[in-house]
Amino acid sequence: MITFEDVQAAAARIKGSVLRSPFLRADGISRVTGAEVYIKYDHLQATGAFKERGAANRIALLTPEERARGVVAMSAGNHAQAVARHAALAGIAATIVMPRHTPATKVTRTAAWGAKVVLHGEMLAEAAAEARRLEREEGLFFIHPYDDPAVMAGQGTMALEMLEDVPDLDALIVATGGGGLISGSAVVARHMRPDCKVYGVEVENYSAFAQALAGQPINVGGPTIAEGIAVRDIGQNPLEVLKALNVPVLVVSEHAVESAIAMLVESAKQVAEGAGAAGLAALFAYPEHFRGKKIGISICGSNIDPRILANTLMRCLLRDGRLLRVVLEMPDRPGMLAEVASRIGALGGNIIEVAHHRLFSSPSVQDAQLEIMIEARDSGHGEAIEASLAEVFVLRRV
């Protein structure tokens, strides 16, 4: 068990090298959720994630002999950048092992801090095995992303700042990968405000802590937008903290995380990666836990690939009914396209994309098929547009 004093010492040690990020009330999200929500903007760190806190504390504690050896770390991205940056600031050579399918933006940014990047394995566990091999064979000092008391204490400084700024929080919701942040946060909350409930958050495909706490064998894997918390081999030190402090872990769906990313863009005007939006996803997925309470969440990472962000926003618009994709069957005669455009325009819809097929898709040579994407204000507006088109044409959604 790390102690509150360990976190306090870490806060003093990293002061000046890590940003004390803003912690502000989110009015739009508060109105939607029925809770009084405060957001910690820790994605404003130089590397775009909270991981700087633990990396800075661990590197500050290295002995001269350990610094001379150089460091190695494994990471899906944010710990990689954090170790690379703080090693560079300290003049220490760094090697970072990342899974092969880590988002390109995280790979390039890690290399930009001067680290040697090695892409190895499909999952974080395979990258970890390679990092351990380099530790043994090249004599490097291994900096674990979460199962290290110094890293746990450093990550706990985020909760320390949150409770210093808003002391009467009822709950903290914390994204949970390997357990460094949740364990440090739980220790801080238990000391500063024992009545403040701390919840971890995992995604369905990687609910390792939820399984371990329930006494189940860990069975994880598969694609996830929250690759930053896609961990199989959770930290044993953090697990002991969560057991000792009785910290529950909530499990959310991929759709919930995607919706949280979109909500942060629209309501908070902030970009979050999947792991960075997990706290908000839990707030929406489990409203009964949080309604009417004062809640602290964090945007703990913003290193999302631009293509993934764009696709996520489009998927959410489709699910919300603000983008419609419909196929119309119509007679192949002059004026039909004008009729479609007129009906959509009269109701204030916006045509985004049109594909007009005559030769092969239509059931009759006398017919044509029109695939069309339409932007609507909301689902009700979209339904009105569809109803107008269905008065004249055979319509189906795709």
Q: What is the pLDDT of residues 120-178, one digit of tens each?
A: 998 878 999 999 999 999 999 999 999 999 999 999 999 999 999 999 999 999 999 99
Structural domain spans, the chain:
4-50+156-315, 54-142, 321-397
Q: Residue 5's pLDDT is what? A: 98
360 pLDDT above the threshold of 60: no
> Could you write out the DSSP letters of every residue in 195-232?
T-EEEEEEEGGG-HHHHHHTTPPP---S--S-GGG--S
102 pLDDT above the threshold of 90: no
363 pLDDT above the threshold of 70: no
Nearest Cα to Cα of residue 158 among 1, 4, 11: 11
82 pLDDT above the threshold of 70: yes
Mean confidence (pLDDT) of the chain: 94
362 pLDDT above the threshold of 60: no
361 pLDDT above the threshold of 60: no
Q: Residue 103's pLDDT is what? A: 78
pLDDT in tens, 214-247: 999 999 999 999 988 999 899 999 999 999 999 9
pLDDT in tens, 184-196: 999 999 999 999 9
Token pair recorded at residue 136: 């043994």
Q: Residue 135's pLDDT is what? A: 97
At 91, is the secondary structure helix, strand, or coil?
coil
CATH for the stretch 4-50+156-315: 3.40.50.1100
Band (pLDDT 50/70/90 cuts) for residue 278 is very high
Q: What is the Cα–Cα distance from 395 to 340, expressed in whole angstroms?
A: 12
Residues 321-397: name the CATH superfamily: ACT domain (3.30.70.260)
Q: What type of residue sits at position 272?
A: A
Q: Mean pLDDT, to the nearest integer, of 302-317?
A: 93
366 pLDDT above the threshold of 80: no
90 pLDDT above the threshold of 90: yes
Residue 236 CB: number of other CB atoms within 10 A?
Answer: 10
pLDDT > 90 fraction of the chain, expressed in percent and rounded: 86
200 pLDDT above the threshold of 80: yes
Q: What is the Cα–Cα distance from 116 to 106, expressed in whole angstroms?
A: 13
51 pLDDT above the threshold of 90: yes
Assess whether the region 4-50+156-315 and the region 54-142 belong to the same CATH fold: yes
113 pLDDT above the threshold of 70: yes
Q: Residue 71's pLDDT is what? A: 98
359 pLDDT above the threshold of 80: no
Task: Name the fold adopted by 54-142.
Answer: Rossmann fold (3.40.50)
Q: What is the Cα–Cα distance from 241 to 124, expressed in whole angstroms?
A: 22
> Could you write out the DSSP letters of every residue in 314-373?
HHHHHHTTSEEEEEEEEESSTTHHHHHHHHHHHTT-EEEEEEEE-SSSSSSTTEEEEEEE
- First vs last C-alpha separation in the chain: 53
Pick 254 or 368 by higher pLDDT.
254
Q: Mean pLDDT, to the nearest integer, of 293-298?
A: 98
Q: What is the Cα–Cα distance from 207 to 220, expressed in whole angstroms?
A: 7
18 pLDDT above the threshold of 60: yes
52 pLDDT above the threshold of 60: yes
77 pLDDT above the threshold of 90: no
Q: Quick one: DSSP state of residue 100?
A: T
